[in-house]
Structure 1
Amino acid sequence: MTQNTQPIKVGFLYPGYAAEDDYPLLGQMVNPSVNVELIHTKFNEDAHTVEALSEMGSPKRIKEGAKSLVGTGIQSVLWTSTSASFVLGLDGIKKQIATLEENLHVPASTTALAFVRAAETIGVKRVAIAATYPEDIALLFKAFLESFDIEVLQYSCKGIVTAAEVGTLRKRDVLEFAVENDCPKADAVFIPDTALHSAAWIEELEQMLKKPVLTANQVSFWEALRLLGQFTPQKGLGTLFKKSCS
C-alpha cells in the first residue's frame, strides 16, 4: 500500500452502529495492513430523513467526533455517512471537510465525495444505484452524482429508514439486491449506504454483475488512503483498488 516503513493509520467518524466492522476488516485486507481508528459519533435520530441526516452531519456533530481523534496519530480522516453528507449539498460537504481539517490538521474527505473521485479513477460515466434508502433520499444521491456529470441510468430504493436495520442485512440480501438493481447499460453499480456490510463481498459482487461495484465502505477506505498520496494497487477489493490513483 505504501513505500514507507511506518504503518499507516487512518481515522473514520461513523454515526451509530451498523456496519462499522467493515473498516478494521478492510485494514487487514490490504497489504501491508493499515491501522484503523474509528469513532462512533452521536446524533438525535437514526433515520434516513433530510432533517435527521442534516443534524447527524452537522459541523457540531463532526467537531464532537473529531475531538476523540486528536492525538491518535491518524494521517487522514473520513466522515463516513454518505447520506449525512450529500443531503447537505456540496457547500455542506465543504464545511464538513473544513471542520475535520481545522480540528485534526490532516487531509479529510467524506464518503459522498469519495464516490465521485472513485468514479473518476475507474472511468465510470453511467451508473445504476442500488440504495437501501427511502426514495426521496435516493433521489438526492442521484442528483448529487448528476451534478458531477455522472449519468444515473437507473436507481432503486429499498425504503429502509434506519441504519441499524440496514446493518442487519446479510450477504445473500446484499448480493441479491445488487443483481436485481443492475442496469445492463451501466458502467458500474453504486451501493451508497455505509450502514450496509460489503467489504468481504466486493469481489463476488463484481463477479456476479460482471462490472465494477462501488460500495460506501469500500470507497471510504480507498479515499482515506488516496488522500495520503501513497496508494498502490491491491487485489481482492474490486476494480477500484486495482487502479492507480492520483
Structure 2
Amino acid sequence: MTTVGILYPGYSAEDDYPRAEKLLDGPRLPLVHTEMREDAHRVDALLDIGGDDVLAAGAASLPGPLDSIIWACTSGSFVFGWDGAAAQVEALGRASGVPASSTSFAFADACAHLGVTRVAVGATYPDDVAERFVAFLARAGVEVVSLSARGIVTAAEVGTLPADDVLAFAAAADHPDAQALLLPDTALHTVDVLDALDARVGKPVLTANQVSIWQGLRLAGAGGPRSGFGRLFAGRGMEGATEEARGGWD
C-alpha cells in the first residue's frame, strides 16, 4: 500500500489529510505534528518551524515504511528562499531515506503540470510573508498577476475559517488575467471544497493541502486521475515523480 508521510506544523487544518485519505480509498497519509514553538506567520517563527532538526525529528516519528514524505507547510518552506527550500528538502530526504518535497515546490510543480505561468494568489498571510511566496514562484517561472494578502497572523485562526468564507475569499482573490488561483496555506481547510472552488472561480484553484497530497503521490509513483480533488488531479502527467518534485530546479 502506498504511504505518503506528512509532516505538519501545529494544529489547524490537519484533519484535511484523513479526509483526503478516505476519499483516495487506498493510499495512506500518516501525519505527524512537528514542533511549533510559536504559531505566527512571521519570518523568524517560520524559519524556526522549518529547521532541519525539527523536520528530521518529525520524520523519525512517522510510521514506516514510507514511499515518500512531504513537509506540508508552504510558508515554512518558501520563507527560506528557493535555494534554502531546496536544501531543506534535500536534508529531509536524507533524514527519511525516501523521496521528499515541500508544499512550496508542490505548487511550482503543479503549475508546471497544468502549463500555468500566470496566477493570482489569495494568501492568508501578512503582506511581507506573502511577498516571499511571490518571489519563490518567480524562480519557477510563474508570474503573480494579482496578490491578495488577508493578514492573518496565526495558523490556528486560519483553520477556523468555514467553507463559505474560503469560497468567497477565493472568488475575491481571482484575477481575469490569471490562468489559475493559488491558496498557499496548509492551515486552510480545502479538501472538502476542491471541486467547488474550481467551479466558483471558473479555473483551476490550487490549494496547499491539495498540492501536498498530489506531490506525495507523484513522488511515490502512485499518481493517476482521481475525482473529487479538483482539476489538478483530473489532468495529465500524474504518472511519476520528476527531479523538480524533489526541489532540484536550477
> Into which bin does the TM-score normalised by the smaller protein fall?
over 0.9
Tell me what 1:243 maps to.
Answer: 235
Structure-1 separation of matches of 2:96 and 2:143: 35
| 2:2 paired residue among 4, 8, 33 | 8
Q: Is the 8 A contact 1:37 1:74 kept in 2?
A: no
Q: Is the 8 A contact 1:125 1:187 kept in 2?
A: yes
Tell me what 2:192 maps to.
Answer: 200
CA offsets, 1:174-194, max 9 Å, x none?
000000111011100000000
CA offsets, 1:95-117, max 9 Å, x none?
22122211211110000000000
Runs of 4+ more than 6 Å apart? none
Matched, 1:226 2:215: no
Matched, 1:25 2:19: yes
- How big is the shift at 1:125? 0.9
Tell me what 1:84 maps to.
Answer: 76
Q: Secondary structure at the match of 2:46?
A: helix
Please provide the CA RMSD for this pair: 1.0
CA offsets, 1:63-101, max 9 Å, x none?
1211102x5212110001100100101222122212221
Matched, 1:110 2:102: yes
Tell me what 2:117 maps to.
Answer: 125
Structure-1 separation of matches of 2:123 and 2:7: 21
Q: Is the 8 A contact 2:56 2:96 kept in 1?
A: no
Structure-1 separation of matches of 2:152 and 2:122: 12
Q: How does 1:75-224 map to 2 (within 5 A)?
A: 75-224=67-216
- How big is the shift at 1:33? 2.2
Structure-2 separation of matches of 1:96 and 1:230: 24
Q: Is the 8 A contact 1:59 1:95 kept in 2?
A: no
CA offsets, 1:127-170, max 9 Å, x none?
00000000001111011111211011000011000000000001
Q: Is the 8 A contact 2:82 2:139 kept in 1?
A: no
> What percentage of aligned pairs have identical amino acids?
47
Structure-1 separation of matches of 2:17 and 2:222: 19
Q: Is the 8 A contact 1:166 1:196 kept in 2?
A: yes
Q: TM-score, length-normalised on structure 1? A: 0.94
| 2:29 paired residue among 20, 25, 36 | 36
Structure-1 separation of matches of 2:86 and 2:113: 21
Q: Secondary structure at the match of 1:33?
A: coil
Structure-2 separation of matches of 1:82 and 1:52: 13
- How big is the shift at 1:232? 1.1
Tell me what 2:247 maps to.
Answer: none
- How big is the shift at 1:195? 0.3
- How big is the shift at 1:230? 3.0
Structure-1 separation of matches of 2:232 and 2:127: 27
Q: TM-score, length-normalised on structure 2? A: 0.93
Structure 1 gaps of 5+ residues are: 1-6
Residue type of the alignment partner of 2:20? L
